Amino acid sequence: MKFFFKYGIIFIMVFVLAGCGRVAPKAWSYTDTAMGTVIHQGIYCEEEEIARNFSQKAMEELEHLEQEILSWRLETAEVYEINASAGSEEGYLLSKEMGALLWDCMALSEASEGAFDIGIGALVRLWDIDRWAAQAQTGVYQVPSEEEVRMALQLCSGQIRLEADRVYLPEGMGLDLGAVGKGIALTKFQSLLEKEEAISGAVISVGGSILTYGKKADGTNWIVGITDPFGTSDYIGTLSLDGQWCVSTSGNYERYVEVDGVRYHHILDPATGYPADSGVSSVTVLSENGMLSDGLSTACFILGPQKGMTLAEKYGVEVLYILDDGSIILSEGMKPYWTQREQ
Ligand code: ADP
Ligand code: MG
């Protein structure tokens, strides 16, 4: 049995080649952990105090997001409360922010023909891959039985009913916003940065989602490395990005448990109840909107390249697929940013 959780600057799926780590003049870098992953911040400004204050504000924002809004584990979070209301007649009165988010998630669910499914909590809990991959569990990982998968799928298959600012979940259903949480964090950081006149540029990664903002001191583009899913080198190519982008990668090498040579990863296909098996090793999505880059990377992973490219086009985002056979497929709009690494 093998566990895997990619963690740290060279191990995260998408990593930043410039900005973080190597500290150029007037570029300040910080590394923390939150949301069960590593956060790297590269901040461009004159004074270190400004950068440090910002990085602390960003971490407080993440803490707030997790503890008050997104967590299904913490009683203080809105998602926890929504899940606790499942089966009730009166449903749950949503905050304005959560209401808007759930409407967006439902639209993505519909557009992806159910591949992206925030009602998947029971199945995610059953597989529990994230915690096993992070070695937060001890003992021997038991692959769920077909019967257990079938039962959990039943709890996911009901309708989430959204009516204006109220949500009604069927008994037993649990929301899981793990597929969009990191992207939502990027959008929060973007708003925080817009209020900081002294900060001219920044690059922040939350696990496999990266925000580029403003400009580097020397005016050159942000260079984001895309991790080699096959592990033969640390990165397989780079995206050269100007200005403000959210880049999210979903991969089958990111968090997984391996049992008897079979890899069980953390992106689940609601059509089968099993880890998605669409011939895809990783998908990177480029968007100006963090919720979309993150949500669509998960959806496109499950759908595979054919349907995924159509979905990406519908949302006006760019996409880069790395397939299990090593081939790379890019949307037209992604091509100008991409440079494949020479072997
Ligand atoms: P990460 O969050 O590790 O960067 P993703 O963005 O691809 O990776 O999201 C994976 C997470 O999304 C899982 O850990 C789980 O919480 C949740 N998830 C798994 N399958 C689905 C699905 N089909 N639809 C929506 N969310 C999912
Ligand atoms: Mg995602």
Cβ–ligand 1 contact at 250 (below 6 Å): yes
Q: Around Cβ 25, how many Cβ atoms within 10 Å?
A: 8
Could you give the C-alpha distances from 98 to 94, 105, 130, 141, 338, in angstroms and in order?
6, 10, 24, 34, 35
**Other beta carbons within 10 Å of 337:** 20
Residue 229's pLDDT is what? 93
Position 278 scores a pLDDT of: 95
Ligand positioned closest to the Cα atom of 13: 1
- pLDDT for res 9: 26
> What is the rounded CA–CA span in Å between residue 286 and residue 320?
9
pTM of the predicted structure, to 2 decimals = 0.93
Q: Given the CA of residue 115, which atom of ligand 1 is nearest to it?
A: 23
Q: Residue 26: which of 194, 244, 202, 204 has the closest Cα?
A: 202
From first to last of its 343 residues, the chain has per-residue pLDDT tens of 555 545 322 333 344 544 444 444 488 999 999 998 999 999 999 999 999 999 999 999 999 999 999 999 999 999 999 999 999 999 999 999 999 999 999 999 999 999 999 999 999 999 999 888 887 777 889 999 999 999 999 999 889 999 989 999 999 999 999 999 999 999 999 999 999 999 999 999 999 999 999 988 788 999 999 999 998 778 999 999 998 999 999 999 888 898 999 999 999 999 999 999 999 999 999 999 999 999 999 999 999 999 999 999 999 999 999 999 999 999 999 999 999 998 7
The answer to whether the beta carbons of residues 278 and 304 sit under 8 Å apart is yes
Cα dist from 100 to 61, 85, 164, 325, whole Å: 19, 19, 10, 39
Any ligand 1 atom below 6 A from CB of 119 = no
How high is the pLDDT of residue 179?
Answer: 97
| Residue from 129, 210, 266 to probe ligand 1 pocket by mutation (most atoms less than 8 Å from CB) | 266
